[in-house]
A and B are shown apart, each in its own frame.
Chain A
Amino acid sequence: MNAPPTGKNFGRPVRRLEDGRFIQGKGRFVDDVILPRQTYAAFVRSPYAHARITELDAAPALEMPGVLRVMTAADLAGVANLPCGWMIHSRDGSEMKVGARPILASQIVRYVGEPIAVVVAETRDQARDAAEAVMVGYDELPVVVDCADAMGPDAPQLHDAIPHNLAYDWGLGDEAAVDAALAGAAHKVELTLRNNRLIPNAMEPRACNADWDAYAEKLTVWMTHQNPYGMRAMYSGVYGLAAEHSLRIVSPDVGGGFGAKAPNYPEEVAVAFAAKLVCRPVKWTADRTEAFLTDAHGRDHLTTATLGLDAEGRFLGLKVDTIANMGGYLSTSGSLIPTYMYATMLSGQYVIPAIHCRTRAVYTNTCPVDAYRGAGRPEAAYVVERIVNVAARALGLDQAEIRRRNFIREFPYQTPVVFEYDSGAYEASLDQALALADYNGFAARKAEAAARGKLRGIGVAAYVEACGIGPSALLAKLGAGAGMWDSSEVRVNPVGTIEVLSGAHSHGQGHATTIAQLVADRFGVPIESIRIVQGDTDRAPAGTGTYGSRASVGMSATLLACDKIIAKGKRICAHLMDVTEDSIRFEDGVYASAATNRTVPFGEMAAAAHAANAFPTREIEPGLVESSFFDPPNFTFPSGVYVVEVEIDPRTGVTQIVDFSAADDFGNVANPMIVEGQIHGGLTQGIGQALWEEARYDPETAQLITASYLDYGMPRADGLPEFRLSFGCTPSPSNPLGMKGCGEAGAIGSPPAVINAICDALDIEHTDMPARPERVWKLCQQKGAR
């Protein structure tokens, strides 16, 4: 199934076709869309993290200039709450407990920034002025921020009928087998760690512009989103905003998402309802503060893990106990991330005969948590790759060697936690990364750094992840509320241009280029003749969104649609060339047959398909449009090994990453330049998590205290090394392109690699992220005191 595509585009560093418009400021983002009779929305949001609403009076706002309407929960009577899209069952078989999340709160607010009312006015400033005039009375309630505290006996309970704030207590794997393995293990190591809460920070904030056409009874919502079709299904099926055929979601250029533009949020739904109420288009663009407060956050786990090893350092069993902070409500995929996106990856790249994971998901007075670059997989890699180093340290084994002793070497490999890994070459990646990093020369570099007063450390981390989500049947078994396939329609126009309608949606990944590369090579036509259409449910065919590096799914659908075109072309050419269909080959854009000298280039066949006069139209339909839906047989499993070197200044605790070597295996790659960009970005976000980024709430008030760039430490170019990248290639057998996906990889493998390097430099077992200078300085002080 995995013949690598050949040609002059696919697999080459073709420059991104969309960059011209981005670089010249000609991109079209939702906020650029201004409709006739445009109005603007502003939200009234809770300033408290937990409070009972005692009073809600919109009258003063209604008297303000330009105000058209103030919408509150009262206007949404009978409308469904926000659903969580993934059913998780607790270990006792009970369904997860979902705290009701209304579109607009009217009784209790559960995190700072939760929307209570939406004001619609002629201008944005008028809407904001009036939003401040809406009178809301609150009785403050006690708050809880920390996920472990949330289960405590004294913790305030966020939702009625959800004691201890426990949404579910879930398990995966054979606990008895793990206990037995640990009991018989020669060595056991235990580690407790936190995975710090992150804020996604897409460059473009969330935005929507909803337009109700009362004549056609049609609702159009421009929305910056990763999954326009998913939103259409929800807006129609869950909220009844309009019938599905009369609901158009348009996601134009999307300025980054990182997962945070995949959920179904209350604000966009509220704006859509408001547009119907005022019968004019209503636009809302989040400001940066709203983005910090309300874009779904990522991570936030507290985990204890135990690894058992035999005398030679081979892994026998891994037991993991995680508390995952869900925030005030279960976001769309909130329940999924710390379960099937997480525990299923706990085997890492290793043979671990027994694995068990218990995950307790708890509500706290914080912003809901959902997918963020990697979504569960970075949390898993962090647990595995940290405890492996703790074990290496305990056993006196080299960190590369302990991995080597435990690698999976034969594929397919069935892990004890659901997944069957389809392919990989883990040791090859390790060797490649070690060579790039000059691992053997490290001791000399460490000594040289010590002479300069610096503590130098080296960290190795190996990750594997699951991408290209489907297959739908497996997902349904795991609790999915929707299938995850993708589709594509290929239209070959009479004069030779080609439109590829794709159900995926690029939010920075470069689909306009990579899909065109594929099609250009498949048809043997110039890349310029191809245009990719995405993100408009009135134009593009159905899709299930772009996240989890699932372009391999959408691109496979495109490939299959192309092949249907080629096959139809053969039938047409059989008439043009007067030979039998099965004697025809299609190569380099030309139909040829051993039975004749006559050849037909692709364009001539396309023209003939539309002219429809050279073949019997009762046998072959005119036109040249084909579509395909692709549901993958399995996930794909990208993997890699990262080696990081850091230098720590013990006087200030500043950690400098001085070297970063990466060896990734993404199978076949559509465009290595784009892949490198994805890796640079992913590594940067992972390094950001390891060194600087952390969403922090005040434990007394649950106010977000890192709600701006003054206080939230984003990674910057000057804190990053030159990345040394290299690529292996074991093609995935799970899609016809042999692709695996690369979007999350960097953010998954780099946090443990960096922390492993820091622990090595300081000769300590563990430190939590982010390894801010003060934290590291204190560790240096302790070390000095020892």
Chain B
Amino acid sequence: MYEFIYSRPATVVEAEALLDPNGDATALSGGQTLLPVLRARLASPSRVVDVARLSELKGIRIEGDRIVIGAAETHAAVSNNPLVIEALPALARLAGGIGDPQVRNRGTIGGSIANNDPAACYPSAALALDAVIVTTRRSVGAAEFFTGLYGTVLEPGELVTAVSFPRCRRAAYVKFPNPASRFALIGVFAAKTSGGTRIAITGAGYGVFRWREAEERLESGGSTSDLESAALPEDAFTSDLHGSAEYRMNLARVVTAQAIGEIDV
């Protein structure tokens, strides 16, 4: 690591001041993405602002027909939380399948959403369910929030404070893990919401997206076997060390069918 100043502010206001947009300070949450980057000397922020213990970023609560999860809640907390298990069981399972126990005990939903790794799990749930990302400055729908490969609308100094999901018991997340990293080679979050069937795909390569063609087919009474022929947005799939676009597209079909199958049982 390069040398940096470590700060642990007591409030969000203090944190925002430290994350001065003109400086090069970086927020630190669970550190499961940031610390490996720092250790490998791939980033050299002058200041690291630890937001993981801010009480304003904590808490999991029900608000009407939504469940609101503080940005600093860990994957372990989300996976074990009775409210999440009740209101959005698929999300609890998703969180319980991230990394290993050490990663889950530190990594947070806010860090994951802010990072928008193209192979991360949470973004698919947020997009499929039209989650609202609450920040220190605004509330943004997931569809607008994620802007492709590691991209979000977050501005310098802006923090995610919570993620608000609608309740949904008819949803499932299936991850086809990359055999090396265990991130999603393809991950599919499928949900049957009041607004219709939703399918969000992560791992394809350029960031999470919805598979509209499949949603429409299923909405119009099609079955999972119709997914075989549903068109996929080819330019959303990449070829790399871990799989060709062709293979990823095949996985998208197989894994989507599996996820839909899990909802329907």
Q: How far is the CB of A784 from chain B (nearest CB, A)?
A: 12
Q: How far is the CB of A436 from chain B (nearest CB, A)?
A: 28
A711 touches B241 (CB 8 A): yes
The reply on B40 being an interface residue by CB < 8 A is: yes
Q: Point out the residues of chain B lying under 8 angstroms from A777, CB to CB.
A: 247, 250
Q: Point out the residues of chain B lying under 8 angstroms from A132, CB to CB.
A: 41
User: Which listed residue, B41, B183, B247, touches A128 by the CB 8 Å rule?
Assistant: B41
A710 nearest CB neighbor, chain B only:
B181
Complex Cα distance, B3 from A128, in Å, reads 11
Q: Point out the residues of chain B lying under 8 angstroms from A8, CB to CB.
A: none
Complex Cα distance, B182 from A713, in Å, reads 9
Q: Point out the residues of chain A lying under 8 angstroms from B241, CB to CB.
A: 696, 705-706, 711
B residues 1-42 touching A (CB-CB < 8 Å): 1-3, 39-41
Q: Point out the residues of chain B lying under 8 angstroms from A713, CB to CB.
A: 179-180
Q: Interface readout for A128-167 with B: 1 if CB under 8 Å, 0 if not? A: 1100100000000000000000000000000000000000
The reply on A727 being an interface residue by CB < 8 A is: no
Most chain A CB inside 10 Å of its own CB: which residue of B3, B40, B180: B180
Q: Interface readout for A502-513 with B: 1 if CB under 8 Å, 0 if not? A: 000000000000
User: Which listed residue, A129, A696, A719, A778, touches B2 by the CB 8 Å rule?
Assistant: A129
Q: Point out the residues of chain A lying under 8 angstroms from B40, CB to CB.
A: 289
The reply on A714 being an interface residue by CB < 8 A is: yes
Q: How many residues of B contact A (CB 8 A)?
A: 19
B244 nearest CB neighbor, chain A only:
A774
A775 nearest CB neighbor, chain B only:
B247
B179 nearest CB neighbor, chain A only:
A713
Given A652-B251, A777-B247, A777-B250, residue A714 in contact with residue B2 (CB < 8 A)? no
Q: How far is the CB of B50 from chain A (nearest CB, A)?
A: 20
The reply on A623 being an interface residue by CB < 8 A is: no
A709 touches B180 (CB 8 A): yes
A residues 676-715 touching B (CB-CB < 8 Å): 691-692, 696, 705-706, 709-714
Q: Point out the residues of chain A lying under 8 angstroms from B242, CB to CB.
A: 711
Complex Cα distance, B250 from A651, in Å, reads 8
Complex Cα distance, B251 from A440, in Å, reads 35
B176 touches A652 (CB 8 A): yes
Q: Interface readout for A21-65 with B: 1 if CB under 8 Å, 0 if not? A: 000000000000000000000000000000000000000000000
Task: Name the prevailing secondary structure of the B interface residues.
Answer: loop
B243 nearest CB neighbor, chain A only:
A774
Q: How far is the CB of A716 from chain B (nearest CB, A)?
A: 8
Given A128-B41, A652-B254, residue A710 in contact with residue B180 (CB < 8 A)? yes
B254 touches A692 (CB 8 A): no
Complex Cα distance, B244 from A651, in Å, reads 15
Most chain B CB inside 10 Å of its own CB: which residue of A132, A287, A713, A774: A774
B254 touches A651 (CB 8 A): yes
A653 nearest CB neighbor, chain B only:
B247
A652 nearest CB neighbor, chain B only:
B254
A692 touches B179 (CB 8 A): yes
A289 nearest CB neighbor, chain B only:
B40
Q: How far is the CB of A286 from chain B (nearest CB, A)?
A: 14
Q: Interface readout for B241-265 with A: 1 if CB under 8 Å, 0 if not? A: 1111001001100100000000000
The reply on A773 being an interface residue by CB < 8 A is: yes
Q: Interface readout for B163-195 with A: 1 if CB under 8 Å, 0 if not? A: 000000000000010011101000000000000
A705 nearest CB neighbor, chain B only:
B241
Q: How far is the CB of B6 from chain A (nearest CB, A)?
A: 14
Complex Cα distance, B241 from A696, in Å, reads 9
Q: Point out the residues of chain B lying under 8 angstroms from A89, CB to CB.
A: none
Given A711-B180, A711-B181, residue A774 in contact with residue B1 (CB < 8 A)? no
The reply on A218 being an interface residue by CB < 8 A is: no
Given A128-B41, A652-B251, A652-B254, residue A714 in contact with residue B244 (CB < 8 A)? no
B3 touches A125 (CB 8 A): yes
Q: How far is the CB of B46 from chain A (nearest CB, A)?
A: 14
Q: Point out the residues of chain B lying under 8 angstroms from A773, CB to CB.
A: 179, 243, 247
Complex Cα distance, B27 from A87, in Å, reads 57
Complex Cα distance, B178 from A706, in Å, reads 13
The reply on A772 being an interface residue by CB < 8 A is: yes
Q: How far is the CB of A461 from chain B (nearest CB, A)?
A: 23
Q: How far is the CB of A121 from chain B (nearest CB, A)?
A: 13
Q: How far is the CB of B83 from chain A (nearest CB, A)?
A: 29
Q: Point out the residues of chain A lying under 8 angstroms from B41, CB to CB.
A: 128, 132
Q: Interface readout for A364-381 with B: 1 if CB under 8 Å, 0 if not? A: 000000000000000000
Q: Point out the residues of chain B lying under 8 angstroms from A712, CB to CB.
A: 180
Complex Cα distance, B181 from A714, in Å, reads 9
Complex Cα distance, B39 from A172, in Å, reads 49
A714 touches B254 (CB 8 A): no
Q: Interface readout for A605-648 with B: 1 if CB under 8 Å, 0 if not? A: 00000000000000000000000000000000000000000000
Q: How far is the CB of A361 from chain B (nearest CB, A)?
A: 27
Complex Cα distance, B39 from A761, in Å, reads 44
B1 touches A125 (CB 8 A): yes
Q: Interface readout for A109-138 with B: 1 if CB under 8 Å, 0 if not? A: 000000000000000010011001000000
Q: Interface readout for A751-786 with B: 1 if CB under 8 Å, 0 if not? A: 000000000000000000000111001100000000
B residues 227-250 touching A (CB-CB < 8 Å): 241-244, 247, 250
Complex Cα distance, B40 from A706, in Å, reads 15
Given A706-B241, A774-B243, residue A714 in contact with residue B180 (CB < 8 A)? yes
Q: Point out the residues of chain A lying under 8 angstroms from B250, CB to CB.
A: 651-652, 777
Given A289-B40, A696-B241, A706-B241, residue A772 in contact with residue B179 (CB < 8 A)? yes
Most chain A CB inside 10 Å of its own CB: which residue of B181, B247, B251: B247
Given A128-B41, A289-B40, A705-B241, residue A692 in contact with residue B3 (CB < 8 A)? no
Q: Point out the residues of chain B lying under 8 angstroms from A710, CB to CB.
A: 180-181, 183
Q: Interface readout for A709-736 with B: 1 if CB under 8 Å, 0 if not? A: 1111110000100000000000000000
Complex Cα distance, B243 from A706, in Å, reads 14
B3 nearest CB neighbor, chain A only:
A125
User: Which listed residue, B2, B176, B181, B254, touches A709 by the CB 8 Å rule?
Assistant: B181
Q: Point out the residues of chain A lying under 8 angstroms from B1, CB to CB.
A: 125
Q: Interface readout for A88-105 with B: 1 if CB under 8 Å, 0 if not? A: 000000000000000000
Most chain A CB inside 10 Å of its own CB: which residue of B39, B179, B242, B254: B179
Q: How far is the CB of A31 from chain B (nearest CB, A)?
A: 16
Complex Cα distance, B49 from A120, in Å, reads 31
Q: How far is the CB of A782 from chain B (nearest CB, A)?
A: 13
Q: How far is the CB of A774 from chain B (nearest CB, A)?
A: 4
Q: Point out the residues of chain A lying under 8 angstroms from B183, CB to CB.
A: 710
A719 nearest CB neighbor, chain B only:
B179
Q: How far is the CB of B63 from chain A (nearest CB, A)?
A: 37
Complex Cα distance, B177 from A710, in Å, reads 12
Q: How far is the CB of B126 from chain A (nearest CB, A)?
A: 23
Complex Cα distance, B92 from A765, in Å, reads 44
Q: Point out the residues of chain A lying under 8 angstroms from B254, CB to CB.
A: 651-652
Q: Point out the residues of chain A lying under 8 angstroms from B176, CB to CB.
A: 652
B180 nearest CB neighbor, chain A only:
A713
Q: How far is the CB of A7 from chain B (nearest CB, A)?
A: 43
Q: How far is the CB of A775 from chain B (nearest CB, A)?
A: 9
Q: Point out the residues of chain A lying under 8 angstroms from B180, CB to CB.
A: 692, 706, 709-714
A715 nearest CB neighbor, chain B only:
B179
Q: How far is the CB of B248 from chain A (nearest CB, A)?
A: 9
B100 nearest CB neighbor, chain A only:
A716
Q: Can you give 15 A-B contacts (C-beta < 8 A)?
A: A125-B1, A125-B3, A289-B40, A651-B250, A653-B247, A696-B241, A705-B241, A710-B181, A711-B241, A719-B179, A772-B179, A773-B243, A773-B247, A774-B243, A774-B244
New A-B pairs, 15, CB < 8 Å, besides A709-B180, A709-B181: A125-B1, A132-B41, A287-B39, A651-B254, A652-B250, A706-B241, A710-B180, A710-B181, A710-B183, A711-B242, A712-B180, A713-B180, A773-B179, A773-B247, A774-B244
B interface list, Cβ under 8 A from A? 1-3, 39-41, 176, 179-181, 183, 241-244, 247, 250-251, 254
The 8 closest A-B pairs by CB, nearest first: A713-B180, A710-B181, A774-B247, A713-B179, A651-B254, A692-B179, A774-B243, A711-B180
